[in-house]
Every structure is written in C-alpha cells, then in structure tokens.
A and B are shown apart, each in its own frame.
Chain A
C-alpha cells in the first residue's frame, strides 16, 4: 500500500462530467422472485445520492451487487467509463467501492489501526509489520475525515458510531471513489447522526460519490443531493431532492398516496384513570417513575437511547422485576408482580423485539394470534379449533393481514403483518391498558400508517395506550400527552398542544 492515499485527487479538480459509477440494466433473480429488474443507478463524484425504498424494494440486493456479495444476472457496471467485472467483495474494494453495511464488518478483537489496514499491512525491514506507520497513517486518515478515533483502541469496545468512522477511514485507505452507507443511523443518537452527516459531507467534498441507503425521509431531505427510489425491484424515479416533498417521496416508495400518515378518528380521551404507576424503581435503570394514563388516551414516552423506555415498558407489565413502587390497573394492584397477574388485570406489552419476545416464528399465524386468549376457546381443556380459527380469521379480515393462510408460519410474513397479528393477540384477549414499544420498528412506510390507525383505534375503543418511541413524528402525530425520560427518570409530562420538538429534546437531554 502506497503513501499517496493520504492526498489523492486533492488539487485535481473533481471531474463532474464523468459518473463515478454507472449501473445499467441490472437484473437479479432469486428462486421464485425477481429481486431487481432492469435497474439503473448513476453516482456522480462529490455528490450524495440517496437510495430509498420499502423493505423488499431491492435496495440491499443492489448494494450487495456493488459490494460483490451477489453476482448480477444481467447489466453492466462502469466506473469512469470502464466496465467492471466484480466477482467478489475483494474485487469491489480493489475497484474503489466501499460498502459500509448496517452490520459492521470489522474484527472486534483487533485495534482500530489493524482493522483499517486489514487488507495489506505496510511492512518494514525483513517483512515485519511497521506498527508505527500504521498508527500514524490511521491518525492521518481520521484527520482527513475530521473525526478522531484512537487508532490503538480495541474496535469492539467502541460504540457503533465510531465503528462506522473506522469503516469510512478504511474506505479512504483504499482510495475508494464510491462509499455506500447502508442505513447508517439506525442505532445512532441524534448527536452521533449529526456528526456522521458532517463526515459524509466531508467525503463528498473530497470528490467521493456517496450512496446513502435509507428509508428515513427527514435524513434524506437533510443530506442528499439526488434521490433514487426503487419499488418491487424496479427503478421508479431519480430526481434532485429539491423536486421532492414528503408526499411525493412516499408516493414513489409505496406506489399510492397516503391521505395522512396519522389519521385521527378517535375522540378526546376520558378522565378515568386506567393505569397508575407510583414511585417505580428497578435495580438497573428506573428511578422513582410516577404517572397515570387515562382510558382512551395515547400517552407517548420519548427518550434517547438508554433513557429507560423499554425497561419501563417491561416493568409495568410485570415482565421485569421492580425494586419499589406500585402499579395498578383500574385501581387493582399488580401483585404479585408477574405477567400472569398483569394480563389478568388487563395490561399487556406489544414488544419492540418481535422476533425474540413476540413471535413464535415456526408456528402458524392462527396459533400466534390466539396465544393470549386460548382459554376462551377451551372446553374442558380441549381447544375448540374451529372456533379459534374463525375468531382469528375475523381479525385477519378486519386488519387486512396479508397471509396466504392461517396455517402459514408467521416468520414468513412481513414485519407489518407480523405486528398486526401481535396486536390481534392482545385484542382477542381484551385489555384495558396496552403498552406498545417502538410499534413501527422494522416496518415499511406503507404499513406504518396502518399500524398508526390501529393504535388510534385501540384508544378509540377505550384502551389506555402507553407508547414508547424514539421517533419524534410518531410521538407528535399520535400522542395526547407526552412524557419524556432521561437516564431512567421521568423529566417532563406535557400535553400534545404544549409540546414542541425543542421542549421534548431539552427534557430528553435532562
């Protein structure tokens, strides 16, 4: 590896006439499905290009072809006019394409510097590795992207945001002309996101073509110059960001108009207290949390990562132990503190972690739906299967749950449909209080509005809905009142009308 990577192209004017990367007519088939159908994508040097689309639109497949993870079935990839033959991730990196995947591909036991120079350590006399040079070169690279990470730190000990920076530094070390960021903000705090954006802009200023893959509208509006939208494996549009509005982008992504992302049909909430939490503390996180939620109300909880929302959700339904405090549902105390009692009193949790706490992936849809209400279909311990299936079918119809049959294994459904089944699980049981934790995590834009409508309907039917979320629009769009948490404490409760983003963020920072 040569030294000149530290200042390549600096001083050379960025040649905007020739695309950095040009993909034409890309096809990719998997058994039984066309993942990409004649897709075009052109990346200009020095520009930030967003790639958007719902789950299954083909974004991942496209960048995996760029990265050499998948081969393409048809089409051409050109870099500065020269056709590339990418057969493996190694080829892709050699050609100057660096993909930073969501799952960071660094060796966590190695130091930052070792990871950066993984593909070729500079050697000194007699072939021994020149560690001093590695450290110095790493530091120089971080200097260029304007972000400092200790080159001697063990990579696994760093937060994800810094590991991303290591990946970006690797890209520079390989003289990458194209850097792809795959959903880079999904586990970052707002602060880290703005730092990342600064670094990404810096990459563009260096003449690198950046492809920013995301389904978050606000981020794309903030950072992208151009947006390409894919849908069902096809290219839908490529336009400068200035020509888009929220609505046109969503319309391109889902292929139809959504009248409103947050349809509100319910009336004003009642004044009957359905859930009362007083002085709740847990061993690890929560400190003296007290609040009440009324029937028919959506009480939204906001907080940054680590604020304790999920901990609160699990504690108030009886899933996680508490050290002090009381919880009562309709005036009846949650004693003993377990989920069996919780569900009997009428409080349940729609978990944020569907896979490990919600779904029984191998089991069919109808068994997943009826899990909490099986007793209602029992005659002397025997299940009235016909009655059970009929009841589940009702919900499948009412909520338009897309499944080939009631017997389909639930793991094969899309995230949105899985979530609807899990909501049905609670509705079939009948609750007074439902705690929903990040209800739209991993769910497409199109399905999101349906989940919002369902939550609105739950409150409309008189349930108290306690909603944990890290998504500001979701919070402002759905909640009647907003509670804010910071480091295990409740720092503010305000009505929706009094709330502003600024107030909420201030309370979240503490």
Chain B
C-alpha cells in the first residue's frame, strides 16, 4: 500500500531522469563511442573509408531484419526462425531467378515465401495460442530441415543478371546499395512506430493485450502484422545475402536470429513488450558489428566474435537494471 505512494512521490524525478539520461540509448552510445576510440587507437585503419563501408555493409543485413524484429518484440512476441528462413529464401530466390531470369519475379518469390513464413508463425501464435518462442523454434526446425529437402547443395547463379549482383555489391554514389535499402526500411519502420496509430497500437498490444482488446482493437491482427513484416524483412535480407554470396546457401544464416535479437535487446527493447525503439536497435546493431570488425582488424581469434557480444549483452542489460534501480531510488 505504501509502495504506491512511494513510487508516486519519486516519479517526477524518475521521469526527468528518463528524459535526460535514463534511456538505454545513452549508455549504448557511450559504449559505441568508447569502442570506436579504443579500436582506432589500437588499429588506425579502423577509420579508413573501406573499413567503414565494410562495417555498414555488415550492419545492413542485420538492421533490415532487426527493424521488423523490433516491432515484433515490442508486441511481446519474438521470431527465432529468421535465420533459417534467411537461408531458405536465398535458395528459393536464386532458383526462381535461374528459371525466370527476372529479378522482379525472384524478389517476389522471396518476399512471398518469407512473408508466408511470417504469416504462418503469426497464425500459430494468435490462433493456436502457442507461445511464440516455442512456435518459432518449431518453424526454425522445419525450415532448417526443409531447405535440404529443397536442395542438398548451394543453388548457384546461372542467370548472371547484373541487377541481381548489384543488389549486394552495387552502390548509390559512395554508399553500398544494401545500406541504402536498410536505411529506407529502417526509416519507414521508425516513422511507423513513432508517429502512426499503427505504431501506437503495437506498443499498446505489448504493454497490455487484454486492455487493447477491451478497447475494441483487434490485437491478434496487430501481432499478425508484426510477424508478416518481420518475414518480409527476412525476404529482402535473404536476397541481398544470396547476391553477396552469389549463391543460395542452405547453410547460410546460422545464428543470424541470435545476432538480430541480441541487437534489438541491446538497444533497450523489452522482451516483455511495450517498450523499445528503433533508434536503440540501430545503436545495438552498430555496437555488435563494430565489435565484430574490431576483432578482425585487431587480428584476434575470430571465435571471439561470438564470445564478446555475449558478454556485452549481459553487461548492457545489467547496466540497464542498475540504472532503473537508481532512478526508482
């Protein structure tokens, strides 16, 4: 009973704190800055144009899928099948390109497949009421096995379409095309979350689905939407990846879902739903990829590429808890 009064009286202070330094973005921004400075002192080539472009290109794939995943996690659901779907999409896209020689049809097939996977996940979660963690692990296993039923080995590029190669390797001005695509998708998602009724409802569903439903909003459709958007993002990313590898690789995308989800969580989006932002996700992606890049240019053991981000996630989440505690006082 006294607690309510307690929090109430300390609330304005917490709110101000939240505005000034409470956001996990600030912590993350500092981490990112420290990383960049430290790495560039140890290895000055970190700031070369080539390296920065390499980092951005690395970020692009993760950021595209993380844009959808942020929306999904804000609604308090998650999709673990994105990595498996990414590989499958590449194989299907490449196969369709080989038989039709049309980039449009290839893209369409990739989007239809990945969107279909998202729709399937969404229906299982909203209609059958299966927990999304479990449902999408199931989908992940189906896709990982299914891709081998589809092809035993990499689907090679037999069509030689230049426009397809450009998808991964092309530039607009000095900026790689995948980065441009990622920025566009990121911007659309960010604007949707921040300024539209749709975005508001996505937060609301994550914060309290029953309240949203009682208010006359069809909460299942919102979740379904977030699943499909995540799927479509995987479709785009899968095509870019197969372009970069110049083949549809059934083994691609292993662990990709963890990188994406880690970046979203690192960016301050709550797995419990209702809280998070795309700007945070962007910082999360940058931190993960700068660490990757740092390990490579410093010549460290590459296996650390998995270890270090793991440590960073635990630390960042712990910092978040400490900061919240300090704010509550």
Contacts and interface: CB of A to CB of B under 8 A. Distances in A.
Interface of A: 30-33, 35, 55-56, 58-61, 317, 319, 338-340, 342-344, 348-349, 351, 356-363, 367, 371-372, 374-375, 377-378, 381-383, 404-405, 407-409, 411-415, 425, 429
A343 B208 CA distance: 18
A412 B11 contact: yes
B1 A60 contact: yes
B213 interface: yes
A505 B40 CA distance: 80
A404 B216 contact: no
13 contacts: A356-B210, A359-B208, A367-B203, A367-B204, A372-B215, A372-B217, A375-B197, A382-B196, A404-B15, A407-B15, A412-B7, A412-B11, A414-B8
A319 B213 contact: yes
B216 A412 contact: no
A425 B216 CA distance: 12
Contacts of B329: 31-32
B5 A56 contact: yes
B13 to A, nearest CB: 8
Nearest to B275: A362
Question: How many B residues are at the interface, by size bracket?
Answer: 35 or more
- The majority secondary structure among interface residues of chain B is helix
A412 B12 CA distance: 10
B323 to A, nearest CB: 16
Contacts of A408: 11-12, 15
Interface in B263-281: 274-275
A349 B204 contact: no
Given A56-B1, A59-B1, A374 B216 contact: no
Q: Is the interface of A mostly helix, strand, loop or mixed?
A: mixed
A359 B210 CA distance: 9
B4 A414 contact: yes
Given A339-B215, A381-B198, A409 B11 contact: yes
B318 to A, nearest CB: 20
B197 A344 contact: no
B1 A55 contact: yes
Interface string B187-231: 000000001111011011001101111111110000000000000
Interface in B1-21: 1-2, 4-13, 15
Contact of A339 (B1, B9, B216): B216
A319 B209 CA distance: 12
Contact of B214 (A58, A348, A362, A363): A348
B4 A55 contact: yes
Contacts of A411: 7
